[in-house]
Structure 1
Amino acid sequence: MNEAVFRAVEEAGWIAPLIFILLHVFRPILLLPVVVFYIAGGYLFGIFYGTLYTLIGLALMSAVFYAIVNVIPSARHYLSRVKRRVFGDRQMSLGQVNILRMMPFIHFQVLSLYLIEMTSSFKEYMRYSVAGVILPTITYTSFGGFITTMPWYATLTFFAVLAIIFFWFGQKDDPEEDELNRILAKAGF
């Protein structure tokens, strides 16, 4: 399934970027992990355009997701159940959600649900959602092939570092003082 989808994009010519961006919107329905799209973007379009198209696709997917969970209560209820099964009743900071977005195969929509619950408006949700996928998009689009071919111990080390950072962000007493919030504010997000 994955190969057929990406082969169709590769053979689409000038319309390929549009198809790739739209596939991001339908990615959750196709049950494809987001990391596959990060890596495929770099493979199909190169680092710069792969990153750009992936960011646009993830922004559109985030906007559609926001609308779906606010219009279809059963979708929100289902994802809330998944969230409880995966994370229990754990409250996370914005930094922790964004660190988890760096880890492949973590349920992207559950993390987006956390963002919806943390924010007070669509604009704020989109700001944090887009800002939170910039680093993973650049990382996996640029180094996707390298990361997937790393020896198992290097891969474990990479994810151990991410886990340490995840827990470090969780040690903040005041969510308003979260380091990521300050960085985003300085950057104009």
Structure 2
Amino acid sequence: MFEQLAEAIPVYIEKSGIIAPILFVLFHLIRPLLFLPVLFVCMVGGYLFGVIYGSIFSIIGLTLMCIIFYFVAQKFPNVLSRFAKLNKKMMKNGPLTMNQIMVLRMVPFAHFHLLSLYVLDQTNNFREYTKYSFLGVILPSIIFTSFGQMIVDLPLFYSVVLLFFLTVVFFGVRRKAIEKPAIIEWKKFFKTS
């Protein structure tokens, strides 16, 4: 059912004429309901509109998806509290930095909304969240739109090399944890007899 719908939507958008960009942006908004990866939708944009316009429309669609996600997350705060618990368990070395989140956005199998939760956790208000969400979808939109098919069709060796490269970049931009030095009292350090 969902597969047939996912195949039919791009054909319908292609035949819709002048309203095709609006339908494509809406396709981005219903993408989570169809369980489609961001990579697929961006590749459809590259096929239908070319790299430049497909990237622009994908940036608009993904940014709107982030904005909708922000309001849904604010409406259901129990989701955020569960995320905070999960985040504490998973991030023992400290929270992800914005640079790490942006690198993870470029990984095709990284969960888009989980990364949006990380952005939400790292920001203080709607304006800051929208800014970082917008900045975070620019590069993946361009890459997935122009090179999405190449990433999917890469031989296994090149896929492993690309994954290794993204892992090195991911850990290269992590936040360095600086611990406060322990303060030892003079009397305890030099025991008096």
TM-score bracket for this pair, using the shorter chain length: 0.7 to 0.9
- 1:83-98 correspondence to structure 2 within 5 Å: 84=86, 88-90=90-92, 91-98=95-102
CA–CA separation in structure 1 for the residues paired with 2:123 and 2:52: 30
What is the TM-score when the length of structure 2 is the normalising length?
Answer: 0.81
Residue of structure 2 aligned with 1:123, choices 117, 121, 127? 127
What is the TM-score when the length of structure 1 is the normalising length?
Answer: 0.83
Contact 1:68 1:75 in 2 (8 A): no
- 1:154-169 correspondence to structure 2 within 5 Å: 154-169=158-173
Contact 2:96 2:175 in 1 (8 A): no
Local SS of the residue matching 1:170: coil
CA–CA separation in structure 2 for the residues paired with 1:38 and 1:76: 28
Deviation at 1:74, TM superposition (A): 4.5
* Residue identity matched to 1:104: P
* Structure 2 alignment gaps of length 5 or more: 179-193
* Residue identity matched to 1:25: L
Moved over 6 A (4+): none
* Structure 1 alignment gaps of length 5 or more: 175-189
Residue of structure 2 aligned with 1:51, choices 31, 51, 55? 55
Q: Is 2:30 the counterpart of 1:15?
A: no
- 1:135-146 correspondence to structure 2 within 5 Å: 135-146=139-150
Contact 2:10 2:44 in 1 (8 A): yes
CA–CA separation in structure 1 for the residues paired with 2:51 and 2:177: 38
Q: Is 2:75 the counterpart of 1:71?
A: yes
CA–CA separation in structure 1 for the residues paired with 2:29 and 2:79: 16
Deviation at 1:149, TM superposition (A): 2.0
Number of paired residues? 171
Deviation at 1:75, TM superposition (A): 4.4
Larger radius of gyration: 2
**What is the percent sequence identity of the aligned residues?**
39
Q: Is 2:112 the counterpart of 1:108?
A: yes
Matched with 1:184 is none
CA–CA separation in structure 2 for the residues paired with 1:89 and 1:120: 20
Local SS of the residue matching 2:7: helix
Relative to structure 1, the CA distance from residue 171 to residue 77 in structure 2 (aligned partners, 3 Å threshold; closer, same or farther) is closer
Higher helix share: 1
Local SS of the residue matching 2:10: helix
Q: Is 2:146 the counterpart of 1:147?
A: no
